[in-house]
Amino acid sequence: MTATLDRPLVTGPAHGLVGTWHLTRLALRRDRIVLPIWIVLLGIMPSTSSGTFETLYPTAAERAGLTASMGANPSLSLIYGPAFDLSTAGGFTAWRLGGFLALVIGLMAVFTVTRHTRAEEDSGRAELLASAVVGRYALLTAGVLVSAGASVLIGVVETGLMIGAKLPVEGSLALGAATAVTGLVFTAVAAVAVQVAEYSRTANGIGATAVGVAFLLRAVGDSTSDANWVSWLSPIGWAQRIRPFADERWWVFLLPLAATVVVGAIGYALLPRRDVGTGIVPPRPGPAEAAASLRSPFALAWRLHRGPLIGWLIGTAVCAAVFGSVASGIGDVVGESQQAKEIFQRLGGTDGLIDAFMAAMTGLFAMVVALYGVQAALRLRAEETAVRVEPLLATGVGRLRLLGSHLVFAFGGTALMMVVSGVLLGLSNGMRAGSVGDAIGDMVVASLAQLPAVWVITGLAVTLFGLAPKFTTAAWAIAGLALLLSLFGPVLNLPQAIVDASPFSHVPKLPAAEFTATPLVWLAGVAVVALVAGLMGWRRRDVG
Amino acid sequence: MENAISISGLHKSFGRTKALDGLDLQVPAGEVHGFLGPNGAGKSTTVRVLLGLLHADSGDVRLLGGDPWKDAASLHRRLAYVPGDVNLWPNLSGGEVIDLLGRLRGGLDQRRRKDLVERFDLDPKKKGRTYSKGNRQKVAIVAALASRVDLLILDEPTSGLDPLMEATFQYAIQEEREQGRTVLLSSHILAEVEALCDKVSIIRNGHTVETGTLAELRHLTRTSISAELAGPPNGLTKLQNIHDLKVEGNRVRFDVETRSLDEALRQLTQVGVRSLTSQPPTLEELFLRHYTTEASAK
């Protein structure tokens, strides 16, 4: 006789996607604060900036000249992309923001997919879920759906608000959709990255590198006349070549859509070829005994920081070399374009064009390097939430020593990156002028002048870590806001008082402007106060 | 002799939640002390106060003659800690973690390390995340036991270990005891507590409800009696300290507290006893009684 179960076996669908809907809802619940911020921030940008176009260029004559003057300037193309039609508010907005929106939505997609897939596996939560009635592809699909859904929503909000701001419907639709499909492409890229990577940090690194390479490819393609095709290799380049508000080319949408399908399919094909919790490359065994050097908190911090640090240094070096070499061509091409000078006056503070460009570049590098500063400063918080700090503090290691060994990377790492960017900007620019030594010296000084502002952002991250550890994510918001204020504040005609809230607004715009020590001393003071407040808080607060 | 751990009247709240509410704990040097209590009773919070990770709201805490908050780093050179949930760095091998933690404590006994790795059957070459829960636990245990320290603070150290490794662990702790080390062992495994601990403290809702040797604690519990009597057991119901009394004709079953055992037996023999079985209090009962809500209401 066979035993019968009291409860009948519940039979239901058992395909690979079972449970996707539940996981998607779980992901949406967990992201109920983060995603709306992304959507609102990216969604409102184009419509608000289009309004300032009319105040900046009130007359038709001024507008007519923009395409010819700014559009022909390779250094502006390097930053913003190709200019198709700058005579309308829509066309100007698409040029100014199209590439930026594509870049940021790409990062959003990478972080979102990783957060709901690889990071869940790292934490062991995915295992708990996998034991429930959940199909093999459900977790990945849920992450992809959330990221893709957010991308589409950002596009919809963008389009709706632009149409509301009386911009042409076709162009609004094209720009919104261009942003959205770029989000889809990088969602697919992330779906591959999370299969390949061993840890969520690596997955984020691979994804963000892909976004960075896409930006760099189009920067190179857009700023040179003989290698224009390079931009066609980049999803960010595609988004711009849809030409919103400038005689839209709808067929270009086929490229990102096809890429999404192909790359996404690779991700799904890789998934069954690996075990839950590991990457596609099996983990290698490590040494049975620690090297003699692994005997201090600093040695451990080096092991934890060296990967990201080296990655960031390489990225900084490549970008600085590319941007610096483009700068050498500016003067020849721009000639006496008044509008281009105007832009650089705003960004770089003077009309000596190359110097202004260089000053703008160092500012840009500083703001991006500040993101590394935040990442490195918050590493100990990540360790703390992973419950890896307590075993260390239960040894003879004091709290300040432990935090200090991480902050060496946050503060020293940012300094190193600024030096590297200074050297390479100077080198590539100096080779043209024939005075390499002077150029390098000038640019290193200019880059280092940005350091106090970078350290203010880094210091504030430490403050949050020490005093309000639950709210450390706010450090990213601070860094992002400072970047937006400095990058778009002048363009959006924001009141100076608001723009001044960013520490980067106070840095003397070297090498174009005169060196003044006063603001730097103030910024350094703020950074020190922020750092000390964080250290004091960390000494007093509960761990865990 | 000086106490290795001395806590009195310890309070700690997290927001509105009272985690510790007047906890007392004394562990003399050289003693293996069991630290017991239901989930959420405050054991781990106590351990984290002892390690200087949490700041006590009030109360007096002394650890190895020092202040665990102020002197944290210097005291930690003399103790080793095994958490109940060990998280390892994903890119470090188990062997690297053992050496690192040992060196941060101020040195590792290499012979003991080698010996323990062998006895616990641990592969030190694997990377952090590829270890199972039990193996991660072993990494922390080896790191702690191979250190030259006076005090071991073990917070449910054997969770996830298989029975064979559990036995290895118990043997290793016996060796530590012979070396004269003090051990604070938080555990739910009663056989482990019974085998290892000189004394135990039981806590509930953040305060100590019982402390003493196991023999003393047993004395506080109940004996189960079932008997067949010559007649109806009338007088029993009037007795104090009788619990769960069941009467079926001439048969009775009840639990009696140790202090009233004598009186209860006298009552039975007055009626006349045909057969009698008595069960001494088990450790399980001892704990269950302290863990359930009824006991806390007392």
**CA–CA gap between residue A186 and residue A211 (Å, rounded):** 8
Percent of residues, chain B, with pLDDT higher than 70 = 96
Tell me the chain B residues in contact with residue A294 when contact means C-beta distances shorter than 8 Å: 96, 99-100, 103
The answer to whether position A416 is within a domain reads yes
Which of chain B's residues have a Cβ under 8 Å away from the Cβ of A122?
90, 129
Query: Residue A463: what pLDDT?
Result: 98
- Determine which of A365-374, A398-407, B241-250 has the lowest per-residue pLDDT on average: B241-250
Q: Could you tell me which of A132, A408, A124, A109 has the C-alpha nearest to residue A264?
A: A109
Q: Which of residues 281-310 of A touch B (CB under 8 A)?
A: 283-291, 294-297, 299-300, 303-304
Model confidence at B224: pLDDT above 80: yes
Domain count, chain A: 2
Q: What is the value of pTM for the model shown?
A: 0.84
Q: In this complex, do A388 and B88 lie within 8 Å of one another by their Cβ atoms?
A: yes
Q: Is the peptide bond before A511 cis (omega within 30 degrees of 0)?
A: yes
Residue A143 token pair: 């992450």
pLDDT surpasses 70 at A332: no
Residue A79 belongs to some domain of the structure: no
Do the chains contact at B76 and A397, CB–CB below 8 Å? yes
Q: Do B100 and A285 touch (CB under 8 A)?
A: no
User: Which among B51, B85, B91 has CB closest to A387?
Assistant: B85
The pLDDT tens digits of the residues spanning B123-136 come to 999 988 789 889 99
Quote the crossing angle between the two packed helices A200-223 and A297-327, to the nearest 10°.
10
Indicate whether A283 pLDDT > 90.
no
Residues A301 and A265 in one domain: no
Q: What is the pLDDT of residue A6?
A: 60
Q: Are residues A150 and A229 in the same domain?
A: yes
Q: Is residue A84 part of a domain?
A: no
The answer as to whether A350 is a domain residue is yes
Judgement on whether residues B19 and B139 belong to the same structural domain of the protein: yes
Asked whether residue A262 falls in the same domain as residue A351, the answer is no
Alpha-carbon gap, residue A240 to A230, rounded angstroms: 13
> What's the N-to-C CA distance of chain A in angstroms?
55
Nearest to A294 among B51, B90, B100 (CB): B100
User: Is B109 contained in some domain?
Assistant: yes
Based on the fold, state whether residues B118 and B250 are members of the same structural domain: no
Q: What is the mean pLDDT of chain A?
A: 88
Residue A155 in any domain: the answer is: yes
Q: Which residues in chain A are closer than 8 Å to B90, comparing Cβ atoms? A: 122, 198-199
CA distance A397 to chain B (A): 6
Q: How many CB atoms lie within 10 A of CB A228?
A: 14
Q: What is the mean pLDDT of residues B282-287?
A: 73
A476 touches chain B (CB under 8 A): no
Contacts of B144 in chain A (CB under 8 A): none
Nearest to A287 among B90, B96, B140 (CB): B96
Query: What is the pLDDT confidence band of residue B164, given thresholds at 50, 70 and 90?
Result: very high
pLDDT for A351 equals 47
Asked whether residue B212 falls in the same domain as residue B258, the answer is no
Whether residue A333 lies inside any domain: the answer is yes
Residue A31, min C-alpha distance to chain B (Å): 25
Does the residue B285 lie in any domain? no
A447 and A333, same structural domain? yes
Q: Suggest the residue from A395, A399, A539 to mutate for an interface test with chain B (most B CBs closer than 10 A).
A: A395
B90 and A122 within 8 Å at the Cβ level: the answer is yes
Q: Quote the CA–CA distance of A147 and A144 in Å, as a whole number.
A: 5
More confident residue, B221 or A172: A172
The amino acid occupying position A215 is F
Do A351 and A442 lie in one domain? The reply is yes
Tell whether A257 and A352 lie within a shared domain: no
Q: Is B205 in the same domain as B231?
A: no
Written as one string, the DSSP assignment of B118-136 is HHTT--TTSBGGGS-HHHH
A393 and A331 part of one domain? yes
In this structure, the answer to whether residues B212 and B64 fall within a common structural domain is yes
Say whether A268 sits in a helix, a strand or coil.
helix
Q: Do the domain assignments include residue A74?
A: no
Q: Which of A225, A254, A280 lies at the terminal end of a domain, its last residue?
A: A280
Contact list, A299 vs chain B (CB under 8 Å): 100
Instruction: Judge if ipTM > 0.85.
Output: no
A8, part of any domain:
no
- Give the percent of chain A with pLDDT over 90: 58
Position A331 scores a pLDDT of 56
- Both B143 and B127 in one domain: the answer is yes
The B-side interface with A (CB below 8 A) comprises 48, 51-55, 72-74, 76-77, 79-81, 83, 85-93, 95-101, 103-106, 124-127, 129-130, 140, 153
pLDDT at A432 (0 to 100): 67
- Quote the pLDDT of residue A241: 95
Do B69 and B56 have their domain in common? yes
Could you tell me how many CB contacts below 8 A there are between chain A and chain B? 124
Assess whether B180 and B167 both reside in one domain: yes
What pLDDT is attached to residue B124?
A: 95
The answer to whether the CB atoms of B95 and A290 lie below 8 A apart is yes
**Boundaries of domain holding B244:** 222-280
pLDDT confidence of residue A341? 62
Q: Is residue B74 in some structural domain?
A: yes
Which of B83, B106, B140 lies closest to A396 in CB terms? Answer: B106
Same domain, B86 and B234: no
Tell me, yes or no, whether B162 and B266 share the same domain. Answer: no
List the single range of A506-515, B1-10, B144-153, B283-292 with lowest mean pLDDT: B283-292
Distance from A276 to chain B by nearest Cα, in Å? Answer: 11
Q: Is the pLDDT of residue A12 over 70?
A: no
pLDDT, residue B118, reads 96
Domain CATH for B256: 3.30.70.260
pLDDT recorded at residue B141: 96
Q: What distance in Å separates the CA atoms of residue A362 and residue A355, rounded to the nearest whole number?
A: 11
Predicted confidence (pLDDT) per residue in A129-154, tens digit: 777 778 889 999 999 999 999 999 99
In this predicted structure, the answer to whether residue A10 has a pLDDT above a threshold of 50 is yes
A274 shares a domain with A125: yes
**Phi, psi (deg, nearest 5) at residue B204:** -150, 140
pLDDT of residue A61: 80
**Range with lowest mean pLDDT among A35-44, A314-323, A343-352, B259-268:** A343-352
Predicted pLDDT at B231: 85
Tens of pLDDT, residue by residue over A240-274, are 999 999 999 999 999 999 999 999 999 999 998 88
At B270 the pLDDT is 87
pLDDT of res. B294: 47
| Residue in chain B lying closest to A307 (CA) | B91
Structure confidence at residue A504 as a pLDDT band (50, 70, 90): very high
Q: Range of A422's domain? A: 294-544
B291: confidence class by pLDDT, cuts 50, 70, 90: confident
Q: How many domains does chain B have?
A: 2
Tell which of A242, A258, A280 closes a domain: A280
The partner residue sitting opposite A542, judged by closest CB among B55, B73, B87, is B55
pLDDT above 50 (res B297): no
CATH of the domain at B117: 3.40.50.300
Judgement on whether residues A272 and A300 belong to the same structural domain of the protein: no
Contacts of A124 (CB under 8 A, 6+ apart): A277
* pLDDT score of A340: 61
Question: Which residues 368-407 of chain A have a CB within 8 Å of chain B?
Answer: 386-388, 390-399, 401
Residue B42 lies in a domain: yes
**Residue A138 and residue A231 share a domain:** yes
Pairing mode, if any, of strands B207-213 and B199-204? antiparallel
CB atoms B48 and A543 under 8 Å: yes
Range A70-88 average pLDDT: 82
> Is residue A31 located within the same domain as residue A157?
yes
- Domain end residue (candidates: B176, B202, B217): B217
Query: Rounded to a whole number, what is the distance in Å from the CA of A441 to chain B's nearest CA?
Result: 39
Cα–Cα distance, B12 to B20 (Å, whole number): 5
User: Looking at residue A71, what is its pLDDT?
Assistant: 73
Residues A273 and A389 in one domain: no
Separation between Cα atoms, residue A21 and residue A17, nearest integer Å: 9
B274 domain residue, yes or no: yes
- Which of A236, A256, A280 is a domain's end point? A280
The one-letter amino acid code at A480 reads G
